[in-house]
Homo-oligomer: A and B are copies of this chain.
Amino acid sequence: MLSAALDDTMLALSDSTRRAILQRLAAGEARVTELAAPFAMALNAVSKHIRVLERAALVKRRKAGREHFLSLNPAPLNQAADWIEHQRNLWNDRLDALERALAEHDD
């Protein structure tokens, strides 16, 4: 789990257009034009967003003729979730320790 991979994943997730694209892809693969349709921006901008998602490996591309089908790759999402979960565990462990210390102090 390279730190740079997590950088790329989190950065990719830091834009609402890209998060919406991922959400759409959870329902199944889609072409670039389909992905771009809901957004008030040029197709080129969406094409760039997809490239950011690909850099993070959140999305993979299958070319069929002139059409490019994008689909979700959940692995980096899992890594991001793992990092956050790890942080929450550290945090909770410390809070538990504090509680125990306070309880002892009350004895």
Contact = CB atoms under 8 A, between A and B. Distances in A.
A43 interface: no
Interface string A5-24: 01111110111100100110
Nearest to A25: B91
Interface range for A: 20 to 34
A74 B91 contact: yes
- The secondary structure that dominates the A interface is helix
Contact of A84 (B3, B11, B81, B87): B81
A55 interface: no
B7 A10 contact: no
A26 B84 contact: no
Contacts of A13: 10, 14, 80, 83-84
B6 A10 contact: no
A53 interface: no
Nearest to A2: B16
Given A6-B16, A10-B11, A14-B11, A78 B83 contact: no
